Amino acid sequence: MSPETTTTPATGPAAGTTVAPPEPPSAKGRATRAAFEDAARALIAERGFLRTTVHDIAAAAGKSTAAFYRYFDNKEQLLAALADGFSHEVLLHSPDAPDGGAEFFETAARAYWDAYKEHLGVLVGVFQLAMVDEEFAERWRASRLVGVRIIERTVRQAQDRGHAAGLDPALAASAIGAMFEHFCFVWLAQGGDGPGTGITDDEAVATLAALWRRSLYGEEPSP
């Protein structure tokens, strides 16, 4: 079966984007769909999306393959539904508005790191498909823009306060966002820079937050 696609106006999702299925109307249906999602999330994290089959997901969920296809057209559509959870987590746990203080940058960096870690297998799967499938390339761009838009607000605020002069806010945000993405990928998906390397969550968050803030406001003054 092919992914469900839709053509929408420019203000909605991009044409051709894989559309996640609607929420089932009954409590039993929602529980069944959640079982498939939980099973897929665990399997993808363990073995990767490309090595995970619909049969694997159905078996892990304790359901039949036929039941799977009542909720999803294919495993790609299920992956698309799971990918939406990453953006939701970043927005849910990020501060509402930047204030220029160190606490904002650390809280926002932790929201991104924790969400990336939670959805690691799914994000790697989306990234892999984005290399060969334009639908998932568009989904990947939409997902990363959630973080980029948060960063862009901090660039504009810094400029309003007389810092970060000469930077294009959108391009600067894209660059800082790319740092976040690849840093998380290297340390969470690839195991760091080589044998014997390691990093704690707190070290990762502190590093990302400091580089983000200092790129806009400069070095912290010495005590």
Q: Residue 58: how many CA atoms within 13 Å on its side-chain side?
A: 15
Mean pLDDT in residue range 190-195: 86
Angle at 136 (CA atoms; ends 131, 138), nearest 5 degrees: 100
CA pair distance 21, 221, nearest whole angstrom: 52
Please report, as a single letter, which amino acid is at residue 90.
V
pTM: 0.78
Please report, as a single letter, which amino acid is at residue 153.
R
Which of 40-44, 86-90, 166-170, 216-220 is most confident? 166-170
Please report, as a single letter, which amino acid is at residue 18.
T
Please report, as a single letter, which amino acid is at residue 5.
T
pLDDT, tens digit, 9 for 90 and up, residues 31-78: 999 999 999 999 998 888 989 999 999 999 999 999 999 999 999 999
Which alpha helices (H) appear in 133-168, and where do they start and end? 134-160
Residue with tokens 């892999």: 128
As a residue count, the chain comes to 223
